[in-house]
Amino acid sequence: MKILITAGPTREPLDPVRYLSNRSSGKMGYALAAAAAARGHSVTLVSGPVALPPPKDVQVVRVVTAVDMLAAVKLHLATCDALIMAAAVADWRPVRVAKRKMKKGSEQRMLLELKRTPDILKTIAPLKGKKLFIGFAAETHNVRAEAKRKLREKRLDLIVANDVTAPGAGFEVETNRVTIFDAHSEEQLPLMPKREVAEHILDRLEAKCEA
């Protein structure tokens, strides 16, 4: 299969030296890309800014903002069979990006006006056709209900949900404890290395592809 994977955070600039971002390390998306390439799939990885080496036999496309990531996903979508959106796309970006460094004066407070970034999955949903789409849901509460809502609203074939407050799961760690939902089932996996989580997700993706 040709698989398009996104990974890492996006960075939304405020001025030339500052940005808004999140704690995503990119490890889950990079593990998916490495595992998919090792299975012989052709993999394109659209990566936000992370400190990870490029996985072997993977074409890496580097992006910074959510808008960049949307453009890169749109560009590579036409030629892929499956999309795995593992990136932690920022939800908000500053309304104004200062051209010069914002200097502090005597003020003790500052109001920052933010606007929504594009929802990549919702934007490309009309282009889905027969492609398989997999999303992630990183939650701190109501994991099951949120995952099922996102599966429906983002027109996903599978969603991989995790409680990022659980020990050993979520951001910056080598392991994850996830539940994989499709429209009819849920599969809870034990705590395991992200590479093994990636193998489970790819098993499910390949089974859907063959179905």
CB of 101 to ligand C5P, least distance (A): 27
Binding mask 116-145 for ligand C5P (x = CB under 6 A): -x-xxx-------------xxx--------
Region binding ligand C5P by CB under 6 A among candidate stretches 15-23, 55-63, 115-123, 168-176: 115-123
* DSSP string covering the chain: -EEEEEESB--EEEETTEEE-----SHHHHHHHHHHHHTT-EEEEEE-S-S-PPPTTEEEEE--SHHHHHHHHHHHHTT-SEEEE--B--SEEES---SSPPPP-S-S-----EEEPP-HHHHHGGG-TT-EEEEEEEESS-HHHHHHHHHHHTT-SEEEEEETTSTT-STTSSEE--EEE-SS-EEEPPSEEHHHHHHHHHHHHHHHHH-
Is-catalytic flag, 22? yes
| Size of site (CB under 6 A) for ligand C5P | 14
CB of 48 to ligand C5P, least distance (A): 10
Binding mask 181-200 for ligand C5P (x = CB under 6 A): --------------------
Q: Is 72 in the site for ligand C5P (CB under 6 A)?
A: no
Out of 5, 63, 83, 87, the only residue in the binding site for ligand C5P (CB under 6 A) is: 87
In terms of CB distance, is 102 or 172 closer to ligand C5P? 172
Q: Which residues bind ligand C5P (CB under 6 A)?
A: 66, 85, 87, 89, 91, 117, 119-121, 135-137, 150, 154
Residues tagged active-site = 22
